[in-house]
Amino acid sequence: MPFDISMHIAGLNLRNPTMLAAGILGMTGLSLRKVWNAGAGAVVTKSISFQPRLGYKNPTIVDVGYGFLNAMGIPNPGVYEYVEEAKIAISEGELVIIVSLYGNTPLEFAKMARIVETAGVNAVELNLSCPHVKLGGMEIGTNPTIIDKIVKTVKKHINIPVFTKLTPNISDIKTIARAAEDAGSDGIVAINTVKAMAIDVESGRPLLANKYGGLSGPAIKPIALRCVYEIAQSVNIPVIGCGGITDWKDAIEFFLAGASAIQIGTAIAYKDVNIFGEIIKGIKCYLKRKGYNNIKEIVGLSHT
Ligand SMILES: Cc1cc2nc3c(=O)[nH]c(=O)nc-3n(C[C@H](O)[C@H](O)[C@H](O)COP(=O)(O)O)c2cc1C
């Protein structure tokens, strides 16, 4: 009998606990299908806003050796146009699709959530964590009151699961995670990128047009792991780990820290979509070798 690593998370039945992270290969229906066909247990789209957004001027992304530094500014065609891409992904058959949303107000988040729910997506992920986008002058995701308002408003408007994606750019991520849980969030995604910068020594100017950006990739894995470890002990809803995962060992570390699933972003650029197959195989081998029957048995094991 094949080894079963399916997971049931916040009402979603995942064939395995790997997901595509928001913003990487999530712009079209076909690219989402490509990642699904490579074996991902779920795919998360690029963050979508109500109105189309052009994003920031170039350069928007630089490879800093141990990961990427990006400040894209959430370029996207707006929810009405994007929803057609989601429909393309869905129309080709079985797939678990989570749409990442970025809004300017709680109601805007809710309206978009309703639109994508009607299109048939499985869940939404609220991007309350972009390190270079502001809401009402505040870095979104750093204020429990704003988190509470957004999550509650979205929950009132839809029936599919709501995941809340958090920023590590805050002194106490546990407080924000608890605010999301208290407001009704069905799960937490941790983390988005870490606020950072790079300077060109020849011109003497910041490398990114936006000056600051978000660091992703291997450099942030220990930060992400610490956040998951702290959050998992502070909330009773599932935590999805994200940040610097590049192989099965990284994935196992996140499960041991308390994640019920993991997302992969930057590593796809280094290894392509075959990384999903590699990681799934590695997880199965590890569980077999250690005598576990399923992933649930190791989730949060490092807390004891
Ligand atoms: C180029 C790029 C674009 C991204 N766009 C989004 C986005 O639209 N929404 C979002 O929530 N996160 C976005 N992220 C963050 C990732 O989803 C993820 O949280 C972060 O990169 C850490 O995971 P990783 O190290 O596996 O990439 C983006 C990351 C990168 C590198």
For the entire predicted model, the pTM comes to 0.97
So what's the pLDDT on residue 136?
A: 53
With the most atoms of ligand 1 within 8 angstroms of its CB, the residue from 61, 239, 266 to mutate is 266
Query: Known catalytic residue: 285?
Result: no
Q: State both tokens at 171.
A: 């002194």
User: Which residue ranges make up each domain of the chain?
Assistant: 7-52+71-193+217-303
Name the closest-CA residue to atom 4, ligand 1: 23
- Does residue 5 contact residue 17 with C-beta atoms inside 8 Å? yes
Residue 49: CB partners within 8 Å, gap ≥ 6? 74, 76, 78, 79, 101, 102, 103, 104, 112
Phi, psi of 37 (to 5 degrees): -65, -25
Q: What is the mean pLDDT of residues 26-33?
A: 93
Mean pLDDT for the chain overall = 94
- Is the CB–ligand 1 distance for residue 16 below 6 Å? no
The CATH classification number of 7-52+71-193+217-303 equals 3.20.20.70
- Does residue 265 contact residue 23 with C-beta atoms inside 8 Å? yes
Q: What is the mean pLDDT of residues 39-51?
A: 97
So what's the pLDDT on residue 139?
A: 64
Segment 175-215, tens digit of pLDDT: 999 999 999 999 999 999 999 999 999 999 999 999 999 99
pLDDT at 130 over 80: no
